[in-house]
Structure 1
Amino acid sequence: MRIAFAHQPTSAVDEDGGAVRVISAVGTAQAELAPTPERFLRMDGFTVWVDVTGCSQDLDALRAEAWFAPRAFARGDHDGFTALIDATEAGRGIALGHLADGTLAARVDQILHAAPWRLQPEKWNHLHVHLSSHALVLGLGPETASVNVLRREPMRIPDGVTVGRTKSQKDAFAIGLLAGVTLTLSDGGPWAASPIGLDDTNIVHGLPVDTTPPRRRYQDDPHRPLAHLSAPQGWMNEPHAAWQHQGLHHIFYQHNAGGPYWDHISWGHAISADLVHWTDQPIAVHPGSAELAADGIWSGSSVAGDNGEHLLFVTAGALERKPDQAIAIARPSGDRWDVDPAPVIEMPADLDGVPLIPGQFRDPFVWREAGVWFALIGAGLEGLGGTALLYRSKDGTRWEPLGSLLVGDKHAYPATGVMWELPVLLPVGVAADGRQRHALFIAPWWKGPNPHHLQHVWHWIGIWDAVSARFVPDHIEPREFDGGGHLTGPSGTVLEDGRAILWTITQDKRSGEEQVATGWAHNAGIPLELGLSAAGTLEVRPVAELAGLRDERVHHSQGVLRGRHLDIELVIQGDFEIDVFAHADGLECTTLGVDAERAWVDRSCASLAGEYCEPVRAIPHHRSIQPTRARLVLDGSMIELWVDDTVMITSRSYSRPDSDHVRLRLPAGTHAVTFNAFRIHPAYRT
């Protein structure tokens, strides 16, 4: 078996005459990629693999090779193993691949053998194995290691061989680029320098290669946003750890590169010069980069070390540890970061005698102020509610616990959760009393189903004093940040120009089946600029750079225009309603409205699919000025409305592709001072 993917990435040839079938279990909303000159197969981690038949033979000695450039490493099977070549059947045979941390490995007759090296992400790796009657020799590039293996009979190769997926674990797929594989009788000769059937100097062990999946795969999906920060494929959750350095904005996000579902989470990474146009980067932090983080790298933050080093404070997840979450530092290593072997902060058992909810200790928000390091960590107190635990340090490595910054009340405010995720503390402005105010943001969490799950971000405005390390809120009651029921996952930073920026995730709230069928899950919201109103309440608006996504102006006729990717400015003398993602037949429509008391969204007819409809949601809006000023962004399925810089609504619409009508409706006696609409272009080059 000698498989090459020359010139046609969706087909393959076995030079030894086997029947080869490239399988791409692509959902209807994903586009099959057109043939390109690429000499490799893109393994997306959840839909693509290769079946080869006609391979059956008995070999006294065999050799197997694979040329693979990993983007990420899958969790694998019960041993953490993912096969690139799987020639096993009924517990017999051989498979070559890697472990969940990238370690080279082979399985021979159900026994797993690991080498002392790891595959390098974003580089070509030449994996090879030689099996004889007395030894197994594993190799990675020029390195080899021998293991004694006593065999008294030839190795049986089954008729069917699978490439890029483990036979016994149907969701253990390879993730990256595969340039060729071989499984042949060993002749004792040297290993090939490049894939069989290819003479390509670009596919050489150790040579860097860009493994970023092409975004054009989703170009025909009417619901996938184009103008928002998103993962190139698979699962995305909250963006975090924003960092501005040398004219570039870095943002990281929770990511499963191997599928549109939560599993084996890494840190995705993107950069931008203007907060709205983004370029994908290699995955920043991989699970398994330390035993402390064997099962996931969960949310955290960016901080500059004393020497300017870009440090990442991460939540390290290892399910076999108790507790299974700890706070660790990841340090830069080329274009990625490696997690330190030991944590800097571990979960305490209790706080002043009140037990913490077991296993819920994560999302460090770390900043430096007046020569002191501070950290907030999300947790929950049994019987009370969520809390943000506060820590202080002189050097970023030895941390002093200071108790709770604030404790929630799950009885008085049940929608604030039993535990708080993603606590964020940001300066928002100077109040009428002349004192600086900060805003504390949290995302509520519950164990198990809850009617408030993934619907809220709460905030308190108050006075933060770094000397006493105390936060005194101006109000007891939590305040809703967004009224649409889709925005969650707050994270923040202060830019070099002094703006406080909040990042969020917009839950798509589709079924797991639909996420798998379409190949993606969730995307970020537009980054938000925060401020403080004269009344002491929070101000929120999209960053000014959003205007950089505008293309041509779209003219309306009697308040009606068409488009699924629009940036709309409204100045209305009075109340208004606006229909978006509406169909000409009147069967689909999402309506937003603003009056003197509230802003609201009505999704009761948003889609012909009833699961994507819901009744009116509203957020208080106390109009104190005339006229009303609003900004509305539509992007595929995304709906974001900001009103008078004081309230916002984030929502979704899963309407038909031609449900693209926008209609402004005004009550009698009201008129539009401004109704400007612009098409917006993609945030990424495709």
Structure 2
Amino acid sequence: MTTTTALGCQYRPQHHYTADRNWLNDPNGLLYANGTYHLFYQHNPSGTVWGNMSWGHATSPDLLHWDEQPVAIACDEQEAIFSGSAVLDRDNTSGFGTPDNPPLVAIYTSAYSLASPLAGRQAQSLAYSTDGGTTWTKYVGNPVADRGSADFRDPKVFWYDGAAGSYWVMVAVEAVDREVVLYKSADLKAWEYLSTFGPANATGGVWECPDLFDLPVDGDAGNTQWVLVVNLNPGGIAGGSGGQYFLGTFDGVAFTSETTVTEGLQEDDSRMPEYGWLDWGRDYYAAVSFSNAPDGRRRMIGWMNNWQYGAGTPTSGWRSAMSLVRDVSLATRGNRVVLVQAAVDPFDGGAPVYSDAGTTLEPGTHWLPAEASGDVLRIDAEIEPREARTVGLLLRAGGAEQTVLSYEPGTGVLSLDRTASGNTGFHETFASVESVAVPLEDGRLRLRIFLDRCSVEVFAQDGLATITDQVFPEEASTSLAVFAEGGPATLVSLDVVR
């Protein structure tokens, strides 16, 4: 479980990381080293709204149980510490460590203040640790990459080893220009420009927090594709913040997209559903992957909030959580390659507290017994809509409150409706309905749903599509129901795990 205190316990999640106190946003410096996962993040050590940007720090042995550590890299009068990444410099290319004790190196954006000679610029800087991430020292030669730009930020660095050579690659953004810019380095200190990608596909907001990695398709190591992740705000598919991805090739110099639908800055958003989206909800942003994850896995985590209303969410003493960590892979679905996601499961191995199978759902709402209720649950459901016009589940229900997950087989659309989910009045854009097209497979819809006090994360058809939304219901709103409208359906299976 995440660190918790008595502060704001009504909404503080059990299985999602939150800072003990104060504000957090983008995950940064995601790294696995010496048996420990490191989660750094944008953090205000002094308040519950954005400001004083520093790198907070938490560690975990398993991505489920997190221990908050002291602030890792603090802002000062010269610079705020914006988003970035971290690597284990195994060969000590930087010279910050020794061959026997290779350093951890953080690559972050220096957002220079008025007190700095570089006031108004954003440039990339280094900090290093030789004690496993406990203490960090800023490099005296900072910044190491400076374009003289006010919007050059969010470096993601990885080691490339291919036909073009072996070197570090930095993937960053010129945010306002909606461009991903790539650089290379032998030592993390001196960087040489490689190429630029974009604008393309979703360009309704600034581009931020990029990532670039390759994955096997359908588990075939001989058939890989590169994935370029670009987060943007606003302009997400559900409104406000969101994350998109492109599939293609990377030759060590340039990324070439094979899934670009539109190029350049677009004013017409009619093609938005055709783009690759990391998540179709409102609350999954700045998602990036862990460096050096064991067993060759690609694991991602995102900020579970939205810049439209993030500063107003009704928590006390703390604000914002991270999503569950997700294993991501590439799979062929419907004759095309797509990114699929599976949550690192905090309920793994738990026995269901309630199960049902093979039940005919006559039209109406079917409330589950008390043992199936709760505010922290995993719900696995498989439904065959048959003649029903709409099928689905009522989540976190009580009184007039309910969050509705529904599916219409006629349109093939899965929707999450939080308009009556509880406290929605803190911002005019919060009450919303999120939707995604999800085809039935063998006439059935498979759902895995994680509830955790203030959030709903939905994984449909084994991670083909996900919807992540915050909700803020009363503590007593814990009931669960299944429903069918317009005709009977079959509840093929249902398991509720607490």
Normalised-by-shorter TM-score class: 0.7 to 0.9
Q: How many Å apart are 1:521 and its aligned residue?
A: 1.2
Write the distance in 2 (CA, Å) between the matches of 1:647 and 1:313: 31
SS of corresponding position for 1:372: strand
Using structure 2 for the length normalisation, give the TM-score. Answer: 0.81
Residue type at the aligned position of 2:245? H
In structure 2, the partner of 1:671 is 490
Q: How many Å apart are 1:296 and its aligned residue?
A: 1.5
Q: What per-residue deviation string (whole Å, max 9, x for no partner) do you get for residues 498-541 of structure 1?
A: 111111011166574665x7111111001111111213332333
Q: How many Å apart are 1:554 and its aligned residue?
A: 2.6
Q: How many Å apart are 1:451 and its aligned residue?
A: 11
Write the distance in 2 (CA, Å) between the matches of 1:374 and 1:427: 13
Alignment of 1:458-537 (within 5 A): 458-466=244-252, 468-477=253-262, 478-493=275-290, 495-507=293-305, 512=311, 518-534=316-332, 535-537=335-337
Q: Aligned to 2:341, which of 541, 553, 561?
A: 541
SS of corresponding position for 2:476: coil
In structure 1, the partner of 2:167 is 372
Write the distance in 2 (CA, Å) between the matches of 1:499 and 1:536: 22
SS of corresponding position for 2:38: strand
Q: Aligned to 2:122, which of 325, 346, 351?
A: 325
Q: In the alignment, does 2:209 pair up with 1:422?
A: yes
Residue type at the aligned position of 2:172? I
Write the distance in 2 (CA, Å) between the matches of 1:422 and 1:615: 25
Q: What per-residue deviation string (whole Å, max 9, x for no partner) do you get for residues 281-334 of structure 1?
A: 12111113xx7xx33111111112223311111111221224422111101165
SS of corresponding position for 1:497: helix
Verify the 8 A CA contact 1:428 1:532 in the aligned structure 2.
Answer: yes
In structure 2, the partner of 1:363 is 154
Q: How many Å apart are 1:559 and its aligned residue?
A: 5.0
Write the distance in 2 (CA, Å) between the matches of 1:553 and 1:433: 36
Write the distance in 1 (CA, Å) between the matches of 2:420 and 2:455: 16
Write the distance in 2 (CA, Å) between the matches of 1:470 and 1:553: 45
In structure 1, the partner of 2:180 is 388
SS of corresponding position for 1:346: coil
Write the distance in 1 (CA, Å) between the matches of 2:237 and 2:436: 18
In structure 2, the partner of 1:660 is 478
Verify the 8 A CA contact 1:642 1:648 in the aligned structure 2.
Answer: yes
Q: Aligned to 1:568, which of 379, 388, 405?
A: 379
Identify if the C-alpha distance between structure 1 residues 217 and 324 changes in structure 2 by more than 3 Å, giving closer, same or farther.
Answer: farther
Q: In the alignment, does 2:109 pair up with 1:312?
A: no
Verify the 8 A CA contact 2:23 2:48 in the aligned structure 1.
Answer: yes
SS of corresponding position for 2:248: strand
Alignment of 1:67-466 (within 5 A): 215-218=4-7, 221-288=9-76, 294-305=78-89, 306-307=91-92, 308-320=102-114, 321-332=118-129, 334=131, 335-349=134-148, 358-370=149-161, 371-380=166-175, 385-404=177-196, 406-409=197-200, 415-430=202-217, 435-445=223-233, 454-466=240-252
Q: How many Å apart are 1:450 and its aligned residue?
A: 10
SS of corresponding position for 1:228: coil
Write the distance in 1 (CA, Å) between the matches of 2:237 and 2:213: 29
Residue type at the aligned position of 1:491? V
SS of corresponding position for 2:65: coil
Identify if the C-alpha distance between structure 1 residues 245 and 327 changes in structure 2 by more than 3 Å, giving closer, same or farther.
Answer: same
Residue type at the aligned position of 1:578? L
Verify the 8 A CA contact 1:416 1:458 in the aligned structure 2.
Answer: no
Residue type at the aligned position of 1:315? T
Write the distance in 2 (CA, Å) between the matches of 1:439 and 1:609: 35
Write the distance in 2 (CA, Å) between the matches of 1:316 and 1:611: 33
Q: What per-residue deviation string (whole Å, max 9, x for no partner) do you get for residues 560-597 of structure 1?
A: 231111111112223731111111x3x11110123442
Verify the 8 A CA contact 1:329 1:344 in the aligned structure 2.
Answer: yes
Write the distance in 2 (CA, Å) between the matches of 1:658 and 1:591: 17
Write the distance in 1 (CA, Å) between the matches of 2:436 and 2:395: 19
Q: How many Å apart are 1:380 and its aligned residue?
A: 3.6
Q: Aligned to 1:599, which of 403, 406, 414?
A: 414
Structure 1 unpaired stretches of 5+: 1-212, 350-357, 680-686
Identify if the C-alpha distance between structure 1 residues 473 and 511 changes in structure 2 by more than 3 Å, giving closer, same or farther.
Answer: closer
Write the distance in 2 (CA, Å) between the matches of 1:673 and 1:451: 31
SS of corresponding position for 1:253: strand
In structure 2, the partner of 1:582 is 397
Aligned length: 439
Write the distance in 1 (CA, Å) between the matches of 2:415 and 2:237: 19
Verify the 8 A CA contact 1:261 1:521 in the aligned structure 2.
Answer: yes
Write the distance in 2 (CA, Å) between the matches of 1:451 and 1:559: 32
Write the distance in 2 (CA, Å) between the matches of 1:323 and 1:374: 25
Identify if the C-alpha distance between structure 1 residues 325 and 563 changes in structure 2 by more than 3 Å, giving closer, same or farther.
Answer: same
Verify the 8 A CA contact 1:360 1:419 in the aligned structure 2.
Answer: no
| Greater shift in the superposed pair: 452-461 or 252-261 | 452-461
Q: How many Å apart are 1:367 and its aligned residue?
A: 0.2
Identify if the C-alpha distance between structure 1 residues 512 and 376 changes in structure 2 by more than 3 Å, giving closer, same or farther.
Answer: closer
Using structure 1 for the length normalisation, give the TM-score. Answer: 0.60
Write the distance in 1 (CA, Å) between the matches of 2:75 and 2:257: 38
Write the distance in 2 (CA, Å) between the matches of 1:511 and 1:426: 29
Residue type at the aligned position of 2:380? E
Write the distance in 1 (CA, Å) between the matches of 2:374 and 2:186: 53
SS of corresponding position for 2:336: coil
| Greater shift in the superposed pair: 247-256 or 664-673 | 664-673
Alpha-carbon RMSD across the aligned residues, in angstroms, is 2.8
Residue type at the aligned position of 1:314? Y
Identify if the C-alpha distance between structure 1 residues 439 and 625 changes in structure 2 by more than 3 Å, giving closer, same or farther.
Answer: farther
